[in-house]
Amino acid sequence: MRVLMFGWDFSARLSGGLGPACRGITGALSGLGHEVILVFPRGNPAPDDPRSSAEDAAREIDARPVPSPLTPYQTPASYRPHPLREAESGDSAAEREYGPDLLSEVIRFGEEASWLARDLSFDMIHAHDWMTAFAAVRAREASGKPLVFHLHSLEFNRRGEEINGNIFEIERYGMEQADHIIAVSAFLKNMIVSRYGIPPEKVTVAYNAADSLQAAETMPARDHSRKTVLFLGRITQQKGPLFFLEAAARVLRDLPETDFILAGDGDGLSEAQQFAKDLGIDRRVRFAGFLDGDRLEAAFAASDLYVLSSVSEPFGIAPLEAARHGVPVILSRQSGVAEVLKAAWRVDFWDTQELARKILDVLTDPDRAASLARAVRDEESGIRWDAAAEKIDGIYRQLESEIP
């Protein structure tokens, strides 16, 4: 089956968790014999390793980039347009510009991407998250082909109750126009049903996975004389970095030599740095920025514990990566990944006292730490993109059978 997919560049640096998710899904669907045509916004070239770029994955997919500065986690405040130059567009007559604001650019991208799709032959449309909704619906209207809307995050996850009403309406529009919806967890499905009024039978859960990289055959050796706790993700309100830091302050009262690493970028970075100073723990906290490649491997190798402190995490791939590297894992109960990584310890994101106690339990008891590391690593080994692809394939087949 030929699948027209509106998605994202595979680069984690450019596309956050949506990049690796698109890579995993397209690769697994290709393994089942589907031919994927990926239409995605492209601003600057991906700066990291070749596997991360959709354009470098031509052996698996037909990549069709559309010039656009869109990235998955932009907000109306963070969006920064710039002129669409001839070199970017390939159109010598292009005296065009990107949209002056985020919503205008989402609409412009939708029109450009759907226009590109008019010249393509395909059997199914598959779109990832709200910024692709207009493109996908336009392609559905033009072609009459079924539309699958794959949701990785919602405005309620990203913003809590202080949502952007326009983005909420675009999300709901995409859900209502879609023939079927995929949610990355039951946690997210429940939010789709309760917050957007979507019938539960229209939503299927297909869990994410980590990239299919070879895990080390033995558990890594760590320096037990110096303990390190890792936070890996965007530094935003959604990911709960302030709760992580508050728990860190509690831990440092008992283990003052513990190091805490916050690896990631985001609009909450300055606030988190100031909060660490206010707590008096900034000397024990390192803000490492975005990590990938060897630097990310080094962070996992140095860490005695990984903590996901998210306020509302639809899934969360980073805990799976930590588990694969033999790192014990503590998860926020308010996360989708907790549904599949059941051996991980769990805590409510707001309960920093309980989180601190669990961190201390891991750091002070090598046997329990090793047992937890083995348990999550064994469980992670069974979580693969193939399972998601098989569910998606079943949805495709069912929708295809319903075409008159």
pLDDT tens for each residue of 68-125: 989 888 888 888 876 554 444 444 333 456 888 899 999 999 999 988 888 899 999 9
| pLDDT reported for residue 99 | 82
| pLDDT reported for residue 333 | 98
| pLDDT reported for residue 222 | 60
Between helices 165-177 and 102-117, what is the axis angle to 10°? 20
Q: Which residues of 340-359 are buried (b: 16+ CB within 10 A; e: fewer)?
A: bbebbbbbebeebebbbebb
Count of Cβ atoms closer than 10 Å to residue 263 Cβ: 22
Count of Cβ atoms closer than 10 Å to residue 272 Cβ: 22
- The domain defined by 228-380 folds into Rossmann fold (3.40.50)
Structural element, H or E, at residue 111: helix 102-117
| pLDDT reported for residue 389 | 97
Contact call for residues 335 and 313 (beta carbons, < 8 A): yes
Residues of the chain with pLDDT under 50: 44-59, 85-95, 214-218
| pLDDT reported for residue 220 | 55
Count of Cβ atoms closer than 10 Å to residue 33 Cβ: 8
Q: Is 239 helix (H, G, I), strand (E, B) or coil?
A: helix
Between helices 352-364 and 366-380, what is the axis angle to 10°? 100
Cα separation, 252 vs 240, in Å, equals: 19
Count of Cβ atoms closer than 10 Å to residue 47 Cβ: 12
| pLDDT reported for residue 293 | 86
φ, ψ of residue 91 to 5 degrees: the values are -115, 110
| pLDDT reported for residue 91 | 46
CATH of domain 2-209+384-401: 3.40.50.2000
Contact call for residues 310 and 239 (beta carbons, < 8 A): yes
Which residues make up the CATH 3.40.50.2000 domain(s) of the chain?
Answer: 2-209+384-401, 228-380
Cα separation, 283 vs 260, in Å, equals: 10
Contact call for residues 110 and 134 (beta carbons, < 8 A): yes
User: H helices within 222-268, ranges in order?
Assistant: 241-254
pLDDT tens for each residue of 257-283: 999 999 999 999 999 999 999 999 999
- Least Cα distance to 330 among 312, 315, 310 occurs for 310
Cα separation, 62 vs 39, in Å, equals: 9
Task: Tell me the residue type at 369.
Answer: A
